[in-house]
């Protein structure tokens, strides 16, 4: 089991929340809480969730992404995903959510 490690940075006008490890039942509130804090700390700019180092994501992790998107939209902010692994992309596709999140390289 990979522990979820989160970090936040301000890069080139983007607020980047980076996730590494597993986003599951335990990681869901951690990721969502980090996104909420990032939106409060950085009131401007596109919010990007970097998923390039996520080794596993289940429905709870997907729920964290949906909640994060809703929270960002509520605060009139855009949210994009960066570098989702093949497993994360597949999860987005089979749940028909791939069109809900702009993807960045």
For the chain, the three-class secondary structure string (H helix, E strand, C coil) is CCCCEEEEEEECCEEEEEEEEEECCCHHHHHHHHHHHHHHHCCCCEEEEEEEEEEEECHHHHHHHHHHHHHHHHCCCCEEEECCCHHHHHHHHHCCCHHHCCEEC
Whether 105 shows a pLDDT value over 90: the answer reads: no
Local confidence band at 2 (pLDDT 50, 70, 90 cut-offs): confident
Range(s) of the domain holding residue 19: 5-104
pTM of the prediction?
0.94
Specify the number of domains making up the chain.
1
Whether 1 shows a pLDDT value over 70: the answer reads: no
Domain of 22, CATH number, reads 3.30.750.24
């Amino acid at each position: 089991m990979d522990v979820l490690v989160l970090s936040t940075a301000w890069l080139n006008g983007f607020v980047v929340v980076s996730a590494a490890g597993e986003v599951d039942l335990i990681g869901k509130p951690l990721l969502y809480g980090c996104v909420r804090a990032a939106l409060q700390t950085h009131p401007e700019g596109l919010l990007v969730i970097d998923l390039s180092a996520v080794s596993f994501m289940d429905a709870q992790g997907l729920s964290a992404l949906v909640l994060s998107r809703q929270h960002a939209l509520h605060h009139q902010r855009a949210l994009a995903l960066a570098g989702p692994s093949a497993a994360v992309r597949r999860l987005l596709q089979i749940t028909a959510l791939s069109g809900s999140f702009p993807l960045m390289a």
